[in-house]
Amino acid sequence: ATQNTDAYTEVSAALKVCMMNMSKIANDLRLMASGPRVGLAEIMLPARQPGSSIMPGKVNPVMPEVINQIAFQVIGNDHTICLASEAGQLELNVMEPVLVFNLLQSISIMNNGFRAFTDNCLKGIEANEDRLKEYVEKSVGIITAVNPHIGYEAAARVAKEAIATGQSVRELCVKNGVLSQEDLELILDPFEMTHPGIAGATLLKKN
């Protein structure tokens, strides 16, 4: 037993921060995999159990939920470690047993959890390409890629009409004669829209 147990507390705090971030990632995966019809369904998680007991055929995100629960435990362990660290008196801290127990438990469950999460979830994630393409095509937000090519006012009109009618930005640009289908294929290409710079910048250079 020692006067101060700062080192243990600092290690536990680092583990807690790590698990907070891992839990956030797990929450992202749960949201992105929600569905299959009324959720996002952007990705498909591996099915690791027979399914939901109340909803036949549903794939529960059990591995991300494991990470969430490990995070809850590690955060709780960290609080216990903090209390044990501050409970010492003068030159002695007799609370080290519970401190070390919780610290070792955090390390152990994180090690096991990360291995299981990698093998049983991360390695098997698949992108739902059809759903993602549909989202991009139906998004009004892609008007930002079109904006440099047709100007703000024209882009705003297309966006408002898309919202009002339910038609896609692509359809309305062609219909209103502001851009050709060929130009839109380049501008609205996902790589162009996610690459630094202006989507379809080569068209501006030609003009």
CB-based contacts of 40, cutoff 8 Å, min separation 6: 31, 32, 33, 34
Domain housing 77: 6-127
- Length of the chain measured in residues: 207
Q: Could you tell me the pLDDT band of residue 116, with boundaries at 50, 70 and 90?
A: very high
Is the pLDDT score of 89 beyond 60?
A: yes
Same domain for 32 and 123: yes
Residues serving a catalytic function are 52
Q: Is residue 1 part of a domain?
A: no
Same domain for 57 and 77: yes
Total tally of structural domains belonging to the chain: 2
In this structure, are residues 154 and 184 in contact, taking their beta carbons and an 8 Å threshold?
A: no
Q: pTM to 2 decimals?
A: 0.84
Same domain for 120 and 18: yes
Q: Is residue 160 part of a domain?
A: yes
- Res 1: pLDDT: 52
CA distance 39 to 36: 6
What is the mean predicted confidence (pLDDT) over 133-162?
A: 96
Q: Could you tell me the pLDDT band of residue 130, with boundaries at 50, 70 and 90?
A: very high
Q: Could you tell me the pLDDT band of residue 36, with boundaries at 50, 70 and 90?
A: confident
Q: What is the pLDDT of residues 49-88, one digit of tens each?
A: 877 777 777 889 999 999 999 999 999 999 999 999 999 9
Same domain for 84 and 139: no
Tokens 């991360």, located at residue = 122
Q: Which of 200, 185, 196, 207 is nearest to 145 (CA)?
A: 200
- Count of C-beta atoms within a 10 Å radius of residue 98: 15
